[in-house]
Each structure stands twice: as structure tokens, then as C-alpha cells.
Structure 1
Amino acid sequence: MPEADRPQELPARLLTDPEMADACRARDFSRVFRLVKSRAGIYPSMIARRCDLTPSRVGEVIADRRRLQHIDVIERIADGLRIPGHMLGLARRSWETPPILATTERKPPQAASPEQEPPVSLPGPEVDGILAMATRTTLSAATLEAFQSSIEDYWRRDDQHGGEALRPAIVGQLRFVVGLLGTRRPSSMQNGLYAVAAELARLTGWTYFDARQYNQARPYFTEALQLAKEIGDRQFMANVLACMSLQATYQDKPADSLALVTAAQDQARSALSTTPRVLSMLSMREAFAHASLGSRDATHRAIREAHRYFEQIQPSDPDPSWVTYFDEPKLIVDTGIAHARLGEAATAEPLITDALRRETRNNQRGRAFHSFWLARTQLDQGKLDQACYTATQALGPASAVASERISGHLHEFYSQLAPHRNEPEVLAFEAKLRELLAPLSGSLRP
């Protein structure tokens, strides 16, 4: 079918126009076709092709010499002109819900059998010889700096585009570094390699977590813990446990989430040089866990602790690089999300709004993630028009990053709109949603 003849959205302003709504309700297709021609630029010949009607029949309808009453013809008009079913007294049409947002039953992730389980960290035997040659190379401080730079670059690109495309490179580097650990080296060099391997393992786990592949994420998080334990890096162990706590929250396992973040705080407090920023981040993760459990007082107490620790931060603090992302806008937005998880939408909305104004635009995933939270708080307060506007603004950054977590938040917001499907704001939002997401079905899936 030629591109010009393919069904396309009618302008939202036409679908929400009272005159169009009245014409559709009366099934007065003479008026409908005239409005479609004058307001959307779809001429009678195009109407005929899209609705599988003859041009002469369309002309007779427009001239009020023929009326269309057969249900199959009315359904073809709805589908050909993309008129929502309820406007013509029909059931909701299949195309009204973008395929990538259609609700499908998700099977619980299956644990891979031993013979199918991909190697977590060790290379295959054919790679051992290659790595053995590499280990004979003299490593230097510059080598460790190069590893750290690559990790920082991975995280930056993960924020901008998502980590799934990066994962093969990250896993390859992880295997390479783990291979280097098999040779005795000066303790400073060996500890540096363990730290690099631990961060690469955590990053790999994170990419699986962001893709909602939780069973695949857990072995890498566990490996990161083991590598950090080898060198007694309790702060980093706390960081990994905090990641696992967040994952448990997404898996709807709030008790596990609280147990993991409590263990993370124990590790951090037993370390010699844990910074206030790290403790603030961990307190906020604790707030998430309590909020998921519905514990209002405990959530508020953890939020206060997070802010108290944050106020103690000094520019000279030796913060590890992995916690520098936890700045003031992040503290504020996480505070808002914790309140939102408790159902305290009126408290959450201004916090998330303020944080979004101050966030860097380089973190596409963060902006999309926080915008969908904002839209949900607005919807919870009955601010339907604001919620739809906010969610529409979030589609831009959401489309720029491959993240199953983001598509999950979009899907949840879309599901919450179900009671309002016939409202003009939702009709306009759905039209924009289909327009923007049609090319993205490979990157945004429920």
C-alpha cells in the first residue's frame, strides 16, 4: 500500500472537537467525511481507499444521498480513518493501544539450567592461553587508570543510551581483568585489578537489572561482592548490596530489599572511611524499602537520615567515584519518589518537579524515569491534563535510551489511564503516544 494511503492518526484537535464528536455519535458520516477533509486534509479519494469504499459511494455520502449503517462498514471507517471505537459506539479498536504497550502476560524468568548458564566470569579454555600471554605483560598505574576511564565511559553511555548494547564489551573486559588476577603482582596493583573487576561485574549486573533480566543480574552482583571482599572494600560491598536491594524492590520483594540495604549499611559503617554521601545514598535506599513495605514512619525516618548525612558532606570528602552521581537533585528526586511510593502524591510532586528542573539533560534515562514518576503523582491527584502533558514530555528521553525499566514505568502509567480512556486529554496523549512510539517498537517494550 502506498505510504500516503496507510492509516494515520487524525489530529488530536479534530478528535476532541465537539462537532466531530457529535457527528460520530450520530454516525453522520456526511459530516464526518467533510470534517476529515477540511480539518485533516484527507480527500474523498483517500477516504475511499482507506475505508475500502468506492469513490462514488463516498461522494454520495458526502452529498447526503446515501447513509452508511452496516456495522462492518462502520468498523472499516473507524480503522481506516483511525477514529477511536467509542466515538462511533464500537468496542475499543485493536490499533488504539500501541502494540508495544499492549498488556501481555509476562512469564516468570526461568533460571538457566547448568548446561545453558553462560559463564559468569571465567573465560573458556580456548581463551586461557591468550590471557596467559597477557598476564606476562608488565602492568602499570596507567593501565589501571585506563581501566577506570573505560568504566566511567561505560556508565556515561549507559545513562545516555542504556547498557544492553555495551554489555558484550563490558563482559569481555571483565573476563580479561579476571584473567589477569591469576598472576602474582605487587599488592597495590593486585588490589587495583580486583577493584576494577568488581566494578565491571557490578556494571554487568546493572545492565541486566535495567533490562529486567533479574536472574542474569544476580550472579554478577554476587561476583562483584566476592571480588570486593577479597580486598576488604566494604564501601563497595555496600554499594553492590544497595543495587541488589533496589532490584528486590522492582521484583516486589520488599522484605528482601530491606534485608539487603540493612546489610549494606552494616558494611558501610564498619569501613574506616565511609563518607556521608555514601551513607546518605544508603539511607535513601532504605527509605525505598520501607515505602515498598508501606511503613510510613520508618520511611520518613530514613528520609530524614538521608538528608542529615547529606548536610554533612564536605568538598574534601574522599568520595568513591561510583557515588558522585548522588548529588542534591538526586537526593531531592529520590525523596519525592519515596513519598510517591507511600501514596503521598501531594508531597512528592513539587520535589520531583524541582529536581527535574535541576537535573542534567545528559542522563536521558534519569529524566524519563523521573518524569513518569511525576506524571503518576499528578494523575493520583486528579490532574489528568498535567499528567498526560508530563508523560508526553517524557517520551523524548525515553525513546533515546534502551531501558526495559523505563518501558515498564511507561506501561504502568498507561495502565493507570484506563478509567479515563474517553477523556480528550487521554485521546490526545494516546495519539501522540502512537505517533512517537511506532518507530521504537524494538527499543521500548512492556
Structure 2
Amino acid sequence: MPDADRPQELPARLLTDPEMIDACRVRDFARVFRLVKTKAGIYPSMIARRCELTPSRVGEVIAGQRQLLHMDVIERIADGLRIPGHMLGLARRVWETPQALVVTEREAPQEPEPEPQTPAALPGPDVDSILALATRTSLNAATLEAFRSSIEDYWRRDDQHGGEALRPAIVGQLRHVVGLLKENRPPSIQNGLYGIAAELARLTGWTYFDARQYNQARAYFTEALQLAKEIDDRQFMANVLACMSLQGTYQDKPADSLAFVTAAQDQARSAADTTPRVLSMLSMREAFAHATLGNRDSTHQAIGEAHRHFERIRASDPDPSWVAYFDETKLIVDTGIAHGRLGEAATAEPLIADALRREARSNQRGRAFHSFWLARTQLDQGKLDQACDTATQALEPASAVASERVSGHLREFYDQLAPHRQEPVALAFEARLRALLPPVSGSLRP
């Protein structure tokens, strides 16, 4: 149904009004229609059109001259006025759950990579060949720095908007850089290109992971590992393995997650230049893996290691740029999430709340993730009002970013809310959810 024709939601204040709740409970449609008119501005002619009734019949109901008892009519009223089914003693209506919450894990078709074209003496009609020829004689340290700057910009925009729209540009740049590697260049330039290609492959894998397209993500993470191995960049190999470990927690494969992070730590410890910040990040990923497995003591031990490594960080450390995101705020929120995964909600809640107060507003995806985690820990403790308020605040950043992982966190909270759906505060949250993420054009849909 087009947006213009879709029935609009009733205001949350009306759906939570005690008089409206009572009128619906006893199916007093005279009162329901009067309240809808006075508090939502939906007049009898509009009520009739929405509910497939005649205007005269609606007028008779409002005047108390007719009752509406047939189930099909009551269902039309629920659907036409967007009154949640349970308020009228009906089953949950199809429209009550936004499409964003019923999206299932998806995988992109596994298409073979096209065979790279052998460079000709003159460029072919494709842009990559032209770019390769144009840069063949001018590639230098400044060019490498430009590539690195573009990668940092991709990551920044990925945090703000999600990586779905960025992926074609990232993949295009990855293939361009891989093409440049086929030419003979000075070792410093060649090694720099390998590092850039590895970062672009990891970023591509990350965008697929964020979209829950796990097979594609694994393929690009593997490519990133191979590229980093060419220059023996063990810190970066550890970083890629840590990404694969995190993916394991989302795929409900905690044993894989622990194996990947153990391999990551082995790579990091074997590198002479691994910094405390990198080791701290890896210990926190280990904590996630143990928490997913339900290993309480091992989780606490890994959290302790993460904090001990973090305390050793110095401003002069030669941290790689890709680990700069792992600051004190990130350490705090990840600590809270690890406790939350263990079911230690009382410990997790203040940590996640503190991190949210510190977190940059521009990191839309991170704020949405962490807000839903906070809401879940509050609900675990029976704090229904606080949980719904926190989740409601998370809806705006969630609707601003294209991320199936965000949708997944929202679905988990929504499912956890099921026993409380008839409470007014939960009803208000659902109304706001449907307003921001309508069934047909939900902005979280992939």
C-alpha cells in the first residue's frame, strides 16, 4: 500500500489513555470513536472510510443507536484505526510488527570473481585500466597517503550511515589497488599497497558482516588475511581474525569465535611492534567469546586482561590507525556488553550508560547498538519504564543508519519485550517504533 494510503498511527498518548484502554476492553465503540475524533482528529467520515463502514452507521454508533458485535467488523476497526489487537481482545495484527523486525538473515549469491584482465599496452575502455595507466609513473608516498585517507573516510561514513551504499566504491578501489600490485615497484611502495589492499578487503568484509551476509564477509576477511600475510603484518592479521571472531558471536558459533580470537592473539604476540591498545582490544574480543560460551570466570579474566593492557597505553605508542577507535569509551561499553552477555545486568547497566554519555553523536550505529544493549540490561532487571524509554531514544539513530546488525539488536529487544506488550509504556514504544519504521518502507530494511 502506498505511504499516502496507509492508515496513520494513533497518537501514543491516546493508546495509553486509561479511558481509551477501558473503552477498547469492553468494545464500547461509541466512546472509541469519540476519543479518536477529539484526541486524534479523525472525524466520523474518515473513520467510516478507514474501517469500511458507512458514515451513517458510524453516526449511529456514536449516538448510541447501534452496537458493533461482528468479529469481522471489529477486526476492520482495529486495522483501520491502528488499534493494537490485544486492546480489543484480538490476536496480534499483522501490521503491528514493522517489516524491519521480521527480516531474516540473508546471504548474497555466491558469484565467482571475474578473472582479472591482463593489462594491455594501451588502456581498455574500463576505468580501472585508465586509472592504472595514469598512476603507473606517478605512484608515490603521497598517493599511498591519499588511499589511507580515503579508507579513514569510509570508516567514518560507515559509522554514520552504514556500509551498504559505500560498498561498490570500496570494492572498486580494492580491485584497483590489487591491479596496481601486479607492476614492479620499489619495496616501500609495494608494501604500502599491500597494506592498503588488506585494509580495503577488511572494510569490504565488514560491510557484508554488518549486512549479515556472512559468507561474503568471510571471503573478504580471508582475502585481507592473505594480503597482510604477503608483508608479514601480524598486527593487522590479528585485527582481521578479531573481526572474524566477532562474526562468530553473531552467528551463534562461540567455539569458532574463541578459536579465531586465540589465533589473533598468537599473531599479535609474535609481532615485535604490537601495542598495548591492540592487545587490549583482542582481550575484549576474547571476553565476548567466553561470555557467549557462558564461561563466567574466563570472561572476567579476559576483561581484567583488557583493562590491564589498556592501563599500559602511552601517548607515544606507535598504534596503527585501525585501532584508534578502541578508546576508553569503547573499553567501558565493551566491558558492559561482556557482562550483559553473561546475564550480569546489574553490573552491565551503569557501564553501558556511562559510555553512552561519552559517545560521539555522529556514531549513529554505535549509539543505536549500545542503547539497545542498555535497554536489554534494564529490562533484565525489571526496569520496564527505563528500558522502553532507552529503546525509544535508540530508534532515531537506528532509523538513520542502514545496518542489518542494528535491526538484529532491535529485534532482540522487541522479542524480550513480548511479556510486557500490553503495558502502556510498551505500547507507546511500539507506536513510536511503527511511526519511524513503517511496515512497507522501514528504513532498517536491507
Assess same fold via TM > 0.5.
yes
CA contact (8 A) 1:44 1:59 kept: yes
- Secondary structure, in 3 states, of the residue corresponding to 1:183? coil
The separation in 2 between residues aligned to 1:370 and 1:292, in whole angstroms, is: 17
Give the drift of 1:182. 1.2
Distance, in Å, in 1 between the alignment partners of 2:6 and 2:219 is 47
Tell me the percent identity: 82
Separation in 1 of the partners of 2:384 and 2:108?
38
Q: What letter corresponds to residue 200 of structure 1 in structure 2? A: L
Say whether the 8 Å CA contact 1:284–1:302 is kept in structure 2. yes
Q: Deviations over 1:104-138 (max 9, x none)?
A: 6657x4872xxx3234xx63456685566356323
> SS of the counterpart of 1:376?
helix
2:273 equivalent to 1:273: yes
In 1, Cα distance between equivalents of 2:434 and 2:390 = 16
Tell me the residue number matched to 1:202: 202
Are residue 347 (structure 1) and residue 342 (structure 2) matched?
A: no
Contact 1:372 1:413 in 2 (8 A): yes
In the alignment, what sits opposite 2:121?
Answer: none
Aligned to 1:418: 418
1:99, distance to aligned residue in structure 2 (A): 2.5
Which of 116, 121, 132 is residue 123 of structure 1 equivalent to?
A: 116
Does structure 2 retain, via aligned residues, the 8 Å contact 1:131–1:180?
no
Give the C-alpha shift of residue 347 in structure 1. 0.4
Residue aligning to 1:360: 360
CA distance in 1, matches of 2:281, 2:407: 25
Rounded Cα–Cα distance in structure 1 between residues aligned with 2:256 and 2:389: 36
Q: Pick closer, same or farther for the CA change 1:30–1:5 going to 2, 3 Å.
A: farther
C-alpha separation in 1, matches of 2:99 and 2:270: 50
Whole-Å separation in 1 of the counterparts to 2:148 and 2:132: 22
1:228·1:237 contact (CA, 8 Å) conserved in 2? Answer: yes
Q: Which amino acid aligns with 2:149?
A: S
Matched, 1:262 2:262: yes
Q: Distance in 2 between matches of 1:134 and 1:143?
A: 12
2:398 corresponding residue in structure 1: 398
Aligned residues between the structures = 439
Letter in 1 for 2:356: L
Whole-angstrom distance in 2 between the partners of 1:362 and 1:295: 35
Q: Does 1:320 align with 2:327?
A: no
Contact 1:249–1:289 (Cα < 8 Å) also in 2: yes
**4+ residue runs over 3 A deviation:** 1-6, 104-107, 122-132, 439-443
Q: 1:445 Cα deviation (Å)?
A: 2.9
Q: CA deviation at 1:2?
A: 11
Q: Which amino acid aligns with 2:41?
A: G
Whole-angstrom CA distance in 1 between matches of 2:332 and 2:244 = 22
Deviation by residue 1:56-82 (Cα, 9 ceiling, x = unmatched): 211111111111111121111111111
Q: 1:110 to 1:365 in 2, by over 3 A?
A: closer
- 1:237 aligns with 237
- Provide the residue aligned with 1:137 in structure 2: 137
Q: Which residue of 1 is the match for residue 225 of structure 2?
A: 225
1:56–1:110: structure 2 CA closer, same or farther, 3 Å change rule? closer
Deviation string 1:344-382 (CA, Å, 9 cap, x unpaired) is 111000000000000111111110111111111111111
Note the 1:428-439 alignment, pairs <5 A.
428-438=428-438
Tell me the amino acid that sits aligned with residue 171 of structure 1: V
Q: Which residue of 2 aligns with 1:408?
A: 408
Report deviation, 1:312. Answer: 0.5
Aligned-pair CA distance for 1:40: 1.4
> What CA distance in whole angstroms lies between the structure 2 residues aligned with 1:6 and 1:195?
51
Q: Which runs of 5+ in 1 are unaligned?
A: none
Cα 1:45–1:249 change in 2 (3 A) is: same
Is the alpha carbon distance of 1:435 and 1:129 closer, same or farther for their aligned partners in structure 2, counting shifts above 3 Å? closer
Instruction: Give the distance between the partners of 2:35 and 2:441, measured in 1 at CA.
Output: 32
Match in the other structure for 2:45: 45
**CA separation in 1, counterparts of 2:112 and 2:384?**
46
Aligned: 1:250 with 2:245: no
Query: Aligned with 1:438: secondary structure?
Result: coil
Separation of aligned partners in 1, 2:334 and 2:241: 18
Separation in 2, partners of 1:280, 1:229: 22
What is the identity, as a one-letter code, of the residue corresponding to 1:123? P
| Separation in structure 2 between the aligned mates of residue 410 and residue 258 of structure 1, nearest angstrom | 25
Counterpart Cα distance in 1 of 2:105 and 2:177: 36
- Sort the Cα spacing of 1:12 and 1:191 in 2 relative to 1 into closer, same or farther, 3 A: same
Counterpart residue number, 2:8: 8
C-alpha contact 2:242 2:260 (8 A) present in aligned 1: yes
Distance 1:292 1:348 in 2: 15
The answer as to whether partners of 2:99 and 2:440 remain within 8 angstroms in 1 is no
* Alpha-carbon distance between aligned partners in 2 of 1:164 and 1:106, rounded to the nearest angstrom: 15
Deviations 1:173-217, CA, capped at 9 Å, x for gaps: 111111111122111111111111111111111111111111001
Unaligned stretches of 5+ in structure 2? 119-123
* Matched position secondary structure for 2:238: helix
CA distance in 1, matches of 2:223, 2:380: 40
Aligned-pair CA distance for 1:342: 0.5
Q: RCO greater where, 1 or 2, for CA within 8 Å and sep 6 or more?
A: 2
Cα contact 1:403–1:443 (8 A) shared by 2:
no
| Structure 2 match to 1:147 | 147
Query: Deviation digits for residues 150-190 of structure 1, max 9, x if unmatched?
Result: 11111111111111111111111111111111122111111
**Letter paired with 2:46:** M
1:27-77 deviation digits (Å, cap 9, x = unpaired): 111111111112212111211111121222111111111111111211111
Which TM-score applies when normalising by structure 1?
0.94
Rounded Cα–Cα distance in structure 1 between residues aligned with 2:253 and 2:340: 18
Q: CA 1:440/1:362 → structure 2, altered by over 3 Å: closer, same or farther?
A: farther
Task: Tell me, yes or no, if the aligned pair for 2:97 and 2:439 is still in contact at 8 Å.
Answer: no
